[in-house]
Amino acid sequence: MVAFRFQAVLNVRKIEEEKLQGELAGLVIAAEEAEKKLNFLRFQKAQSQKVLHERQVEGLSASEIGIFDAYLNDLERQISQQKKLLKKLTEAREKKREDLLVASKKRKILEKLKEKALIEALSEETARHQNFIDEMGIVRHVRKTNLGPEGN
């Protein structure tokens, strides 16, 4: 069987595609974790606001209101940072997905080329085999003809 002359390139493309798949998986996990943390921060903020409103009904001192306000501002800052991180991870994930799609297409092109080369090689081998059989038939016929009926 004839070796595929672009096998090394195909192997490299497969490795690149696997690497991109791994990187994409890492970005998907990181984005999910960032989203979980964002949701947790939002939950903390909502709970803190609820506690603040409940405590305001009971009556709060100015220092307690200041503590709540500082805490809520810090949570808002963390939420803002987490949103930025999530956006960055989401964009990186989509870019990596596009890169993976391109790498996959490149690999598939080479695999189709390999398949086509294999079919062509099999076709050539079949033609050579058929030529050999035809030649054997011709040789037999010539021998049979040259020997005549008594040569049988």
Q: What is the pLDDT of residues 16-46, one digit of tens each?
A: 999 999 999 999 999 999 999 999 999 999 9
| Domain-embedded: residue 140 | no
Of the candidates 42, 26, 23, the one whose C-alpha atom is nearest the C-alpha of residue 81 is 42
Residue 95 domain-assigned?
Answer: yes
Global pTM value? 0.72
pLDDT, greater one: 151 or 2: 2
Over residues 97-136, the pLDDT tens digits come to 999 999 999 999 999 999 998 889 899 899 899 998 988 8
Residue 126 in domain: no
Better-scored residue on pLDDT, 97 or 138:
97
In angstroms, the CA 63 to CA 38 distance is 28
Kindly state the average pLDDT of the residues 54-74: 88
> On the CB side of 95, how many CA atoms lie within 13 Å of its CA?
7
Give the contacts of 102 (CB within 8 A, at least 6 positions apart). Answer: none
Which residue range is the domain that position 31 belongs to? 7-119
> Residue 4: left if φ>0, alpha if ψ -120 to 50, beta else—which one?
beta
pLDDT for position 148: 62
Give the per-residue pLDDT at 92: 97
Domain count, the chain: 1
53: how many CB neighbours lie within 10 A of its CB?
10
- Residue 116 and residue 124: Cα distance in Å, rounded? 12
Domain membership flag for residue 37: yes
Q: Does any domain span residue 21?
A: yes
